[in-house]
Amino acid sequence: MDDIRQNPSSGDEVALRRIQRLSLHLYTPSEPHSGGLSLLPCRAKRNLSPSVESLSEYMRGPHREIQARIFEFFQSRPDLQTPVEISMAEHRQLCMRQMTALVREAGIRPFRYLVENPSAYFAIAEAVGGVDISLGIKMGVQFSLWGGSVINLGTKKHKEKYFDGIDNLDYPGCFAMTELHHGSNVQALQTTAIFDPITDEFVINTPNDGAIKWWIGNAAVHGKFASVFARLVLPLQGKGGKSADMGIHAFIVPIRDLETHSLLPGVEIHDCGHKVGLNGVDNGALRFSHVRVSRDNLLNRFGDVSRDGKYTSSLPTVNKRFAATLGELVGGRVGLAYSSVGVLKIAVTIAVRYSLLRQQFGPPRKPEVSVLDYQSQQHRLMPMLASTYAFHFATQYLVDKYSEMKKTNDDQVIGDVHALSAGLKSYVTSYTARSISTCRESCGGHGYAAVNRFGILRNDHDIFQTFEGDNTVLLQQVAGDLLKRYQEKFKGGTLTMTWNYLRESMSSYLSQPNPVTARWEGEDHLRDPKFQLDAFRHRTSRLLQSVAARLQKHSKTLGSFGAWNRCLNHLLTLAESHIESVVLAKFIEAVQNCPDANTREVLKLVCDLYALDRIWKDIGTYRNVDYVAPNKAKAIHKLTDYLSFQVRGVARELVDAFDLPDLVIRAPIGMASEAYEQYTQHVGF
């Protein structure tokens, strides 16, 4: 493409003059702090002066020290840093070396943290994901999935036998749930585990090619064990002497010899091959041909088989056992939501720093301006920066709740964590996936250089939307949960903490919007957290009430499955709306709890942008029900642009406060200083 400055055809000259005229119209000379140009000077602006240190201190959370240890360790070991170009085979070996060195040389034992201090575990996962996302996922497979299944679905005997080997990596393992024909629908898995009462063993078998375990992390190269999810079948225990299918259970199956590493008899493994991303993780496909394992290898916390082949369980039905089994695996979702925010922080930091550095065009006879001074660039990046802050606090809350759940086993907290982890995992990972592309675009051509990271971040992170539960499927769990609570409300039941607002407010949200407040357009009102939360909750309550009525109507003719499908998009919108309400509530709380007044003021600005941008993006919904009048909609739009502009003034400090070391950012264009120098050096100047 021709560059319009170097080769101005007459049409291009006209375009250039138009841009320059536009610059004159839109901008007036800058105030000192913004470092650029100011937008429509219609308001009396206050310059904020955030302290990066104080902001960072508040954001950091309690586990910064262990993260710093991880960064220092990898910083000191260039041989363990992932280069930009690396083959799949080398990447897999490097990832294994990285994980082994972390455990055996740096002395960081993620598995112990997972069991004893989950919030520290998630901080470790975020930090190693910053070193290489493949490493973060490889570690997640080993400790959270393979280790987590043994600890959470097994009993004391399993812990005694396997804990140390998992912890010190003598027992690298896999989590083998997904099959070729079934991923999301776990209840339909076909691998069987048939009890043989004569030998006191289970026989693990893949009955057809559709039941081949697929995508199993750690299987292609490194795994020695797998926790295999299979239907537990008891011969002669069903009606009329038939076999009884007791549903999906997990079994520990050794897959490779501990000494020689060769495949064990009856186990066939093939490599899933080169992937779009995460090529440091060795995903494999496994077929089992009548592999025998001891009865003790059943992970028997929720269901057991006695020596004489009788089934016992504290849970009365197959569905309850299934829910309990899958429920124990929510830790993976918590980790993904949390790590996804970590990836978003990296992408936003690179995009914002570069957009501040990069200068293109400007008013006549004036220096060129930073591209972040363009309203369009602010519109792309500032609400994203605000969302990153919002998700930071929301996922921090999720991690705290998860830790509380593990400590107390309280039913209400369990309910809360299950729905919230499903919702935040899907909402945050989808948002991050979209945003990485926007960040790439906002850095122009230099965003396309592999060294500047967006390609690998996008490719590695993309699958976060699918594994540990496909996002569309998980959002339906959130919607289902909301509907359940809605029904309970009318039966006088209790609501868990996060859902409490529905009880408190359903009736007021569902009454006709107040025509007077619908017209209020003052900045104080629009920036009042009460108005913002009210708007989010009003939308959720309406969506909930209307979808409940639609489901009831359609189920009469379509049955419950058909009715659900007829309302599916509505249900997904409901789930997202609810998650957004929770995210906003947690952000508002975080602002209010911030002890330093200066920092609080900056966070309040960022929070206001998050809230108003979301309201503006969904303004049609609010207008449709006259929750906001036309004048108010216009005021929201104007204020959102203005807040984006204000956040631009503190954008550098906001990304610096993420406190990500160069080891994690790596992109030359995303460096805090001398970015151009580092970039030119990279290509050899």
Q: Which residues are annotated as a binding site?
A: 178, 217
| Spatial separation of the C-alpha atoms in residues 616 and 532, rounded to whole Å | 11
Binding residue for ligand FAD (CB under 6 A) from 26, 318, 326, 473? Answer: 473
Q: Which secondary structure element, helix H or strand E, spans residue 554, and what is its range?
A: helix 529-566
Asked if residue 196 lies in contact with residue 211, where contact means CB atoms within 8 angstroms, the answer is no
The answer to whether residue 509 forms part of the interface with ligand FAD (CB under 6 A) is no
Using the rule CB under 6 A, which residue among 71, 73, 143, 467 binds ligand FAD? Answer: 467
* 145 DSSP assignment: I
Q: How far is the CB of 462 from ligand FAD (least distance, A)?
A: 9
Give start and end residues of each alpha helix (H) in 409-519.
411-442, 454-462, 471-490, 500-510
| 225 forms part of the interface with ligand FAD (CB under 6 A) | no
Max CA distance (Å), the chain:
93
By CB under 6 A, is residue 95 in contact with ligand FAD? Answer: no
Span of 171-179, 340-348, 554-562, 602-610 interacting with ligand FAD by CB under 6 A: 171-179
Spatial neighbors of 1 by CB under 8 A, at least 6 apart, are: none
Does the protein bind ligand FAD through residue 607 (CB under 6 A)? no
On whether the CB atoms of residues 122 and 340 are closer than 8 A, the answer is: no
**Alpha-carbon gap, residue 437 to 347, rounded angstroms:** 9
CB of 204 to ligand FAD, least distance (A): 15
Contact mark string toward ligand FAD, 137..166, x via CB under 6 A: ----x-------------------------
Q: How far apart are CA 475 and CA 477, in angstroms?
A: 5
Instruction: Indicate whether 26 belongs to the interface with ligand FAD (CB under 6 A).
Output: no
Q: E strands within 72-221?
A: 173-176, 192-196, 201-205, 213-217
Contact residue for ligand FAD among 466, 477, 505, 555 (CB under 6 A): 466
For the CB of residue 194, give the shortest distance to ligand FAD in the complex, in Å. Answer: 21
468 part of the active site: yes
From the candidates 126, 179, 201, 468, which is the catalytic residue? 468
Report DSSP state, residue 484. H
Told to check if 215 binds ligand FAD by CB under 6 A, we report yes
One residue of 217, 383, 447, 670 binding ligand FAD per CB under 6 A: 217
Helix (H, G, I), strand (E, B) or coil at 470: coil
Segment interacting with ligand FAD, rule: CB under 6 A, options 56-64, 465-473, 617-625, 636-644: 465-473
Residue choice 103, 166, 177, 405 for contact with ligand FAD (CB under 6 A): 177
Nearer to ligand FAD, 176 or 330 (CB): 176
Kindly state the smallest distance separating residue 168's Cβ from ligand FAD, in Å.
21
Q: Which of residues 183-202 bind ligand FAD (CB under 6 A)?
A: 183-184
Beta carbons of 329 and 148 less than 8 angstroms apart: yes
Residues belonging to the chain: 685
Nearer to ligand FAD among residue 169 and residue 657 (C-beta): 169
Secondary structure class of 85 (helix, strand, coil): coil
- Phi then psi dihedrals of residue 519, to 5 deg: -105, -10
Structure tokens belonging to residue 374: 């363009």
Count of Cβ atoms closer than 10 Å to residue 170 Cβ: 11
545 lines the binding site for ligand FAD (CB under 6 A): no
Least CB distance to ligand FAD at residue 359 (A): 40
Beta bridge partners of 203: 194, 292
Which residue, 383 or 469, is less far from ligand FAD as judged by CB? 469
Q: Give min distance, CB of 152 to ligand FAD, in A.
A: 15
- What token pair was written down for 292? 């025998």
Instruction: Provide the residue type at 223 as one letter.
Output: G
Residues in Cβ contact with 523 at an 8 Å cutoff, skipping those fewer than 6 apart: 43, 639
Of the candidates 178, 395, 442, 577, which one interacts with ligand FAD according to CB under 6 A?
178
Helical residues (DSSP H) of 174-317, grouped into ranges? none
Q: Name the pairing type of β-strands 311-312 and 192-196.
A: unpaired
Q: Which position's Cβ is nearest ligand FAD? A: 183
Eight-state DSSP code of residue 415: H
Q: In the range 343-402, which residues lie near ligand FAD by CB under 6 A? A: none
Instruction: Tell me the binding residues for FAD.
Output: 178, 217
Closest distance to ligand FAD from the beta carbon of 464 (Å): 10
Binding of residue 470 to ligand FAD (CB under 6 A): yes
Q: Which stretch binds ligand FAD (CB under 6 A): 44-52, 115-123, 275-283, 553-561?
A: 275-283
Q: Considering the rule CB under 6 A, would residue 423 count as an interface residue with ligand FAD? A: no
One residue of 463, 475, 543, 575 binding ligand FAD per CB under 6 A: 463
Cβ atoms of 284 and 219 closer than 8 Å = yes
Name the strand (E) or helix (H) holding 54: helix 52-60
Residue 283 within binding range of ligand FAD, rule CB under 6 A: yes
Using the rule CB under 6 A, is 175 a contact of ligand FAD?
yes
CA-angle at 530, arms to 542 and 495, nearest 5°:
55
Count interface residues toward ligand FAD (CB under 6 A): 19
- Least distance from ligand FAD to the Cβ atom of residue 145, Å: 6
Q: Which residues bind ligand FAD (CB under 6 A)?
A: 141, 175-178, 183-184, 215-217, 275, 278, 283, 463, 466-467, 470, 472-473
Catalytic residues: 468
